[in-house]
Amino acid sequence: MKNPPAPSIAYENREFLASPEARPIRILSEYLEPLARFDRLKVNSTILFLGSARIDDLDAAAPLHPYYVDAERLAYLLARWAIPLGPKGKNFVICTGAGPGIMEAANRGAARAGGKTMGMNISLPHEQQPNRFISPELAFAFHYFFMRKFWLVSRARAVIAFPGGFGTLDELFEILTLIQTGKISRDALVILLYGEEYWRKILQFDELIKAKAIAPEDAAVITYASDPAKAFTFLKKKLSKYCRLVGPSKII
C-alpha cells in the first residue's frame, strides 16, 4: 500500500498564495521584498519622474515629443551630478514607473550618465513592458497599485512631473494630498512641474485658492520649470541639503 502524498508546506502552496485568504501575505511581500532590496543595494534616496507613457521618442511631430527630449536631458544631468555623492550608498537614483514615454526618457538619461536607474512596473490587463534602460537589479514589479505608489514615493527627495494624463495626475495629486495633510513633511520633498505652459493650462490652482478649496500654502510647495538646465540648477540647490541624509523621507 502506497504512502499518501506529503502535504504541501503552506508557503510553497501556490494555490493558497493566489487565494483571497492569502491577500495580506501578497501585500506584505510587496512591502518587504523591495525594502530588503533597497537596503541591500544601499539606495538612500531617489528622484521620481512622472509623465505620459504615450510619448514616442521617434514621433517628432507629436505635441508632447519635446518633453521626451527634456526629460532625458534632465535625468542625465541629475544622475551625472548624483553619481559621485556617495560614499555610503546611492543617492538620488532616478526612479520611474518603468514604462515607455517620459518614464523611458528619464531611465534613458540616467543610464547614459552611467548611473543606476530604477523602474517600478505594474501588472495590467494589457501588460506594460518595462523599458530597456532600467538597471536589472532595480527593476521591480507590483500587483497592487497602492504598494507601487508607496515605493515610488517612500525614498523620493524630489518629484518631477512632466506633462501627462490620468495616471500622472493621479500620482501627482496623491503626493500633494500627502503633503497637504502632513503625512509627508513639506521640507522632505521637492515638487517640480516641468512644462509650465502645459501645467498652467491644465491645473488652475489660483481658482482653487479663490474658491477656498485649498490654502495658498498648499500650492506654494510647487515650482515650475521649462528648461532642463534651469530645472537642474534649481534641483541641485534644493537637494544638496539632503546629501548627507540616508533612509526614506518620512511618510507617516
| Residue 233 pLDDT greater than 70, yes or no | yes
Q: What range does the domain containing 82 cover?
A: 22-242
Per-chain mean pLDDT for the chain: 92
- Write phi, then psi, for 6 (nearest 5 degrees): -65, 140
Q: Report yes or no on 231 lying in a domain.
A: yes
Q: What is the pLDDT of residues 31-65, one digit of tens each?
A: 999 999 999 999 999 999 999 999 988 888 889 99
From residue 165, alpha-carbon distances to 92, 102, 130, 188 in Å are 25, 12, 19, 26
Q: Report yes or no on 10 lying in a domain.
A: no
Q: Report yes or no on 9 lying in a domain.
A: no
What span, in angstroms and rounded, lies between the C-alpha atoms of 103 and 117?
11
Q: Report yes or no on 163 lying in a domain.
A: yes
| Residue 1 pLDDT greater than 70, yes or no | no
Tell me what pLDDT residue 203 has: 97
Least confident of 92-106, 112-126, 151-165, 238-252: 238-252
Confidence of residue 86 (pLDDT cuts 50, 70, 90): low
Q: Report yes or no on 15 lying in a domain.
A: no
Q: Which CATH number fits the domain that encloses residue 98?
A: 3.40.50.450
Q: How many domains does the chain have?
A: 1
Q: Report yes or no on 2 lying in a domain.
A: no
| Residue 180 pLDDT greater than 50, yes or no | yes
Q: What is the pLDDT of residues 90-108, one digit of tens each?
A: 999 999 999 999 999 999 9
| Residue 197 pLDDT greater than 60, yes or no | yes
Q: Report yes or no on 13 lying in a domain.
A: no
Tell me what pLDDT residue 247 has: 47
From residue 209, alpha-carbon distances to 145, 193, 194, 196, 201 in Å are 30, 18, 21, 18, 16
Least confident of 59-68, 189-198, 213-222, 230-239: 59-68
Q: Report yes or no on 227 lying in a domain.
A: yes
Structure-block grid coordinates of residue 170: 493621479
Least confident of 44-58, 120-134, 153-167: 120-134
Tell me what pLDDT residue 236 has: 96
What span, in angstroms and rounded, lies between the C-alpha atoms of 14 and 72?
41
Burial class (CB in 10 A: 0-12, 13-18, 19+), 201: exposed
Least confident of 80-89, 108-117, 130-139, 198-207: 80-89
